[in-house]
Structure 1
Amino acid sequence: MAAPSDLEVTATKINGSSCQETVTNGDGINGPNGCSVAPATPATPTTPVMTVTRPSRTPSLTGLSLTEYSANPSPPAESKRRKAKKVIPDDYILPSGHPDYLRLILTSKVYEVCKETSLTHAVNLSNRLECKVLLKREDEQPVFSFKLRGAYNKMAHLDRAQSWRGVVCCSAGNHAQGVAFSARKLKIPATIVMPEGTPSIKHLAVARMGGHVVLHGPDFDAAKEECARREKHDGLINIPPFDDPYVIAGQGTIGMELLRQTNLQKLEAIFCCVGGGGLIAGIGVYVKRIAPHIKIIGVETHDANAMTQSLAKGERVLLKDVGLFADGAAVRTVGEENFRICQEVIDEMVQVTTDEACAAIKDIFEDTRSVVEPAGALALAGLKKWVAANPSTDSSRSLVAITSGANMNFDRLRFVAERANVGEGREALLAARIPEKPGSFAKLIEAIMPNNVTEFTYRYTDGEVANIMLGLSLTAPVAQRAHQLQLLMGRIAEAGMEVTDLSGDELAKSHVRYLVGGRAKVPNERLYMFEFPERPGALEKFLATLRPRYNISLFQYRNYGSDVGKILAGIQCPDGEMPELVKFLKEIGYPWFDCTQSEVAKTFLGGPGVNEEGAVPL
């Protein structure tokens, strides 16, 4: 193997402490405070090591570069398709020239390391939805994700004449753990490239599995460049996360298990989360061959729907922006081979919201006492939405949701808990305008009863009108909650008070509900929501970027344990300087949204004479 780059160093800081000496234990070579230290080239595949490298380019701090699948994807142009025979043996190629996935799945090597996961009956959810809901528990795998199946199957089929050099991948998530775990089992050196700001819980997990972790650059764009450099320079084999026949076949073993574990005559549909398409392609290609009557339904979030758009257009599309909440499925373009298969096997696509995904996480917890990650709950969120749109009198029909992963950052549970009831329709967020006079509060509560108040935010602003933000519980059955909310809002209106439903307003849910102080008369104030990478020092850098040029009149931020943080900022800027401000915002590189004219902002944050001239459309 070629010598390491001059940029590489062998000591890395974790939690502010530098590694200075090593102690050998059963996991490999570990320094103090959990630091892992080793030579740049791993001596054995079971020795966890970590290095830090510095990119030569200036990073582009865009939201798309913050997660591995949305960063700098290959363009979806259908150029020359890679011949399958270059990847798999000739006798596994069909006359059409495509892989024989049935044989690839039946001869898969995943069970050398993976377990056949449970198919759990979600009793509580089944009773609520009046059908049999089954959860395929891929969170039970050794790395808590289905990704181990595809990674191991791919690596187990590598030519030993090449694999002795090692494998490489760029990932800080489930794929990274799958590759590292597989490499240890197969005794193949594995290099995992991640951005420098990757939380320690992620890179330490990979290092413990024996992976050689390389922390490189500020974002995944830089990390992918380093991964490609090492692949070429060191002769390593890049393990793709989804767009590969062996990876697809590995994921397809889930479908093989499902058909053994359930009654095929009663199984109506299988729901899969969709990112790059490896999971649903593998399951779909097997199930449709054995039991074509079973529906294969994909689930994406509204703001990361590359497969939905690609299927509608008939070709792979490249999304300009993607939502990052379900980061395990946040891709800008789906895999080429995956898309070819999905065009043949997917019956429907369902799109869900962030709140609906949070509600599904809660549902899975209530039935299994397990906490899955956002992407791991997408399938169930889609199942619930599909059942609501496709009611049936057959309570014995079976529906399967793949709980694809459970690598959840504990800090994110705070966000999930706050959003779950809204996503389930059990809670509504309302804005009420009532007269600023004695007795008005009592009159409002009287109109709300018997619903419980879950949140009540108020601050005196002027002597005429009081603006109140309310959280209210909804107790009616799922199908009747929208009607219950309309009746409740009608009672408030009949009492002579104005009321607005904010349950779907992201500005209200993410920021305004946490601000106390009331409306303020701030001249020339513009309100913006920003997204920035959640890594040490990122918030300070963001503030330092703004401070020299503009006065900040409002600021709200809270850490939710995600890879991406959200900020609401008020910036004072006269009309004549707006073009300069817009140019400045584009230059700082963070995704931003102008919410100056939002009704929520005007009601709870603005005041008479504020923002009267309006904001420049962006």
Structure 2
Amino acid sequence: MLAKTLIFTAEIAESAEKGKGFGSFEFLISARSAISAVSIFSEGISLISKLDIEKAYLAIHDQVFRTPLVYSQKLSQLCGCQTLFKLENLQMTGSFKERGALNKLLSLSVSDRARGVIAASAGNHAQAVAYHCQRLRLRAKIIMPQGTPLIKVLSTQNYGAEVLLHGSTVDDASDLALEVSEKEGLVFIHPFRDPVVIAGQGTIGKELLQEDLAKGVDAVVCPLGGGGLISGIALYLKEAIPAIKIIGVQASNCPSMKQSLAEGRPVHLPSASSLADGITIKRVEPLNFSLVQKYVDEVLTADEDQIANAILLLLEMEKIVTEGAGAIPLAAILNRKSEFAGKKVISIISGGNIDVNILGRIITRGLAAAGRVAQFTLRIRDLPGSLLAVLEIVKKMQINILDIMHHRLESPAPFGFVDVSLTLETKGHAHIEEIKQKLNEAGYPPQICLPM
């Protein structure tokens, strides 16, 4: 660790001498100050403490919703551990982001409030800042990527914020937000690289310790993107209960913090996409890296099918509507059952702002991952009654047919044959294998058996 720290120190110094600064620090540091800057990594940030979170709670507790902690009997049985959920998706704007945004806004001086604020976000942070600026009668300007779903743009505008669309990523939007902040004198509200914002998110940890259901908890599993949420929660809980395990979960498509921890320094990954778009953060910030390194015990990952399956399970079993980031803790628990077996585990459902235009596709993907929807492509003779014979097999097995498609124009089938795809409602992976066997026995071997 010391060697990696010294390497990082040298790189800060080299960067400073070239006049580049480092990463997204908002100030230039000299080579002489590089050693003090690296104390962030070796001492674990003195910019935020448990007391800061206590103060944040006093400031915001009567202006945000105290979300419930609920126990799930069904998912506890499925996961093999006591499974509880902290439902931050029930906040007014649908995510935990309100806590940090409000704490930051309340901390501003009278003169800063008069200037107004600016933020960059593709969704949750934007809506949180806009909503509480409206409540506090502050001017808000939000920069969002051009590909942001229309519903999120409209929601942010409906809270009274001025919205500008720029670039293809949140990083692009952030770059413009910093420029506009300097030009117009607006206060920039960063979604996670800010001790005051982190303290606000940490109030979730305080609320957890006030819950009778949380007594005896062994682990808290939290979505991990930029690290603002898990940093605040982990700091508070670790100070109160040192033995508690804090586990972060990232999308396997963009494991920026996990890779940073492995390398002992913040990294910057290429662009990536995920169902858990709220935590697809490619650039790790030094402040958050330090806190995660100090307080978080382990970082896991979940792939797209696992995330989709978790969204589906929460919706179907507990009637909880969650976005990908909110479902990712459950995805990780299901993927690592042996590690959580018999323990009491709290998952943070960080938000529920899922785009309804893609919810259907996510549900279908989740059904496929669970083996509850499958597509079979068969080659049959191009004669009257051939398809009926196949459908009779399906009927005898009492399987519901969701879709039938003839592949006439694009099919590679030889003359006299045609390929047909059947999309079936199945009862699990074992059931899919049973269907394949029956079709094989009837002389219709499926050439392809793919989830949707």
Q: Gaps spanning 5+ residues in structure 1: where?
A: 1-73, 84-93, 504-508, 510-618
- Secondary structure, counterpart of 1:113 in structure 2: coil
Deviation at 1:305, TM superposition (A): 1.8
1:358 aligns with 2:304: no
Confirm or deny: 8 A CA contact 2:378 2:421 kept in the other structure.
yes
- Secondary structure, counterpart of 2:85 in structure 1: strand
C-alpha distance 220-246 of structure 1, shift in aligned 2 (>3 A): closer
C-alpha distance 390-324 of structure 1, shift in aligned 2 (>3 A): closer
In the alignment, which residue of structure 2 is the partner of 1:475? 427
Confirm or deny: 8 A CA contact 1:295 1:347 kept in the other structure.
yes
Relative contact order higher in (CA < 8 Å, ≥ 6 apart): 2
C-alpha distance 222-404 of structure 1, shift in aligned 2 (>3 A): closer
Amino acid at match of 1:249: A
- Secondary structure, counterpart of 2:336 in structure 1: helix
- Secondary structure, counterpart of 2:221 in structure 1: strand
Tell me the number of residue pairs that the alignment of Structure 1 and Structure 2 aligns: 411
In the alignment, which residue of structure 2 is the partner of 1:458? 406
Once the two structures are superposed, residues 302-326 of structure 1 have per-residue CA deviations (whole angstroms, 9 ceiling, x without a partner) of 2122122222222222211311432
Confirm or deny: 8 A CA contact 1:104 1:249 kept in the other structure.
yes
Once the two structures are superposed, residues 405-447 of structure 1 have per-residue CA deviations (whole angstroms, 9 ceiling, x without a partner) of 1222222222123222113333334444567677587368649
TM-score (norm 2): 0.79
| Partner residue of 1:379 out of 300, 316, 329 | 329
C-alpha distance 304-408 of structure 1, shift in aligned 2 (>3 A): same
Amino acid at match of 1:319: L
| Partner residue of 2:389 out of 442, 449, 460 | 442
Identity of aligned residues (%): 33
C-alpha distance 451-473 of structure 1, shift in aligned 2 (>3 A): farther
In the alignment, which residue of structure 2 is the partner of 1:572? none
1:126 aligns with 2:73: no
Distance 1:463 1:469 in 2: 18
Amino acid at match of 1:469: S
Deviation at 1:168, TM superposition (A): 1.0
Distance 1:230 1:77 in 2: 17
Moved more, 266-275 or 460-469: 460-469
Q: Gaps spanning 5+ residues in structure 2: where?
A: 1-21, 34-41
C-alpha distance 343-196 of structure 1, shift in aligned 2 (>3 A): closer
Amino acid at match of 2:348: I
C-alpha distance 101-433 of structure 1, shift in aligned 2 (>3 A): farther
Deviation at 1:448, TM superposition (A): 9.8
Confirm or deny: 8 A CA contact 1:231 1:237 kept in the other structure.
yes
In the alignment, which residue of structure 1 is the partner of 2:358? 412
Distance 1:425 1:294 in 2: 35
Confirm or deny: 8 A CA contact 1:264 1:291 kept in the other structure.
no
C-alpha distance 170-188 of structure 1, shift in aligned 2 (>3 A): same
Moved more, 443-452 or 350-359: 443-452
1:168 aligns with 2:115: no
Higher helix proportion: 2
1:428 aligns with 2:374: yes
1:277 aligns with 2:224: no
Moved more, 134-143 or 402-411: 402-411
1:348 aligns with 2:298: yes
Aligned pairs (5 A) from 1:69-88: 75=23
- Secondary structure, counterpart of 1:103 in structure 2: helix
| Partner residue of 2:344 out of 384, 393, 398 | 398
Distance 1:185 1:106 in 2: 23
C-alpha distance 238-359 of structure 1, shift in aligned 2 (>3 A): same
Moved more, 180-189 or 217-226: 217-226
C-alpha distance 313-494 of structure 1, shift in aligned 2 (>3 A): farther
In the alignment, which residue of structure 2 is the partner of 1:611? none
- Secondary structure, counterpart of 1:349 in structure 2: strand
1:244 aligns with 2:194: yes
Amino acid at match of 1:181: Y
In the alignment, which residue of structure 1 is the partner of 2:3? none
Confirm or deny: 8 A CA contact 1:356 1:424 kept in the other structure.
no
Deviation at 1:174, TM superposition (A): 1.0
Distance 2:379 2:187 in 1: 62
Moved more, 99-108 or 160-169: 160-169
Distance 2:371 2:225 in 1: 26
Distance 2:387 2:103 in 1: 66
Confirm or deny: 8 A CA contact 1:148 1:179 kept in the other structure.
yes
Deviation at 1:149, TM superposition (A): 0.5
Distance 1:331 1:287 in 2: 24
Once the two structures are superposed, residues 492-518 of structure 1 have per-residue CA deviations (whole angstroms, 9 ceiling, x without a partner) of 455552544423xxxxx4xxxxxxxxx
Amino acid at match of 2:371: G
In the alignment, which residue of structure 2 is the partner of 1:558? none
In the alignment, which residue of structure 2 is the partner of 1:115? 65
| Partner residue of 1:326 out of 276, 279, 287 | 276
Distance 2:267 2:285 in 1: 10
TM-score (norm 1): 0.59
Distance 1:217 1:95 in 2: 37
Distance 2:95 2:190 in 1: 16
Confirm or deny: 8 A CA contact 1:359 1:381 kept in the other structure.
yes
Distance 2:278 2:336 in 1: 22
Distance 2:387 2:264 in 1: 57
